[in-house]
Amino acid sequence: MSLQAALDALGDPVRRRIVRELAGEPDWARACGTFAHLPVAKSTLSHHFGVLRQVGLLEQRDEGARRLNRLRRAEFDERFPGLLALVVEEPEGA
């Protein structure tokens, strides 16, 4: 994964918010459906999850009708030290 792809993925505020929310909870605790409070259309939300998955920030698995998420924090930290911490610690609404 290139730095360009990582910066592109994290350049979107809604994607950073998804990352921040996932970072605050255990692996596989959040289904995609639990992000409906974010101020974007469902199709846009699906796109954001796809981008985060493609860039290696997110792992997903289906459990019944739910698509569960895991932030690949250790893997991403190893590739881009410090970058995820900046996102996780970003003040909400900044």
Binding region for a second copy (CB under 8 A): 2-4, 7-8, 10-11, 13, 16, 80-83, 85-87, 90, 94
Both tokens of 92, joined, read 């909400």
Select 66 or 79, whichever has its Cβ closest to a second copy: 79
To a second copy, the closest distance from the beta carbon of 7 in angstroms equals: 5
Both tokens of 32, joined, read 């995609």
Cα distances (angstroms) measured from residue 79 to each of 31, 45, 56, 58, 73: 26, 25, 10, 14, 10
To a second copy, the closest distance from the beta carbon of 86 in angstroms equals: 6
Select 32 or 88, whichever has its Cβ closest to a second copy: 88
Pick the closest to residue 22 from 51, 60, 55, 54 (CA basis). 60
To a second copy, the closest distance from the beta carbon of 44 in angstroms equals: 18
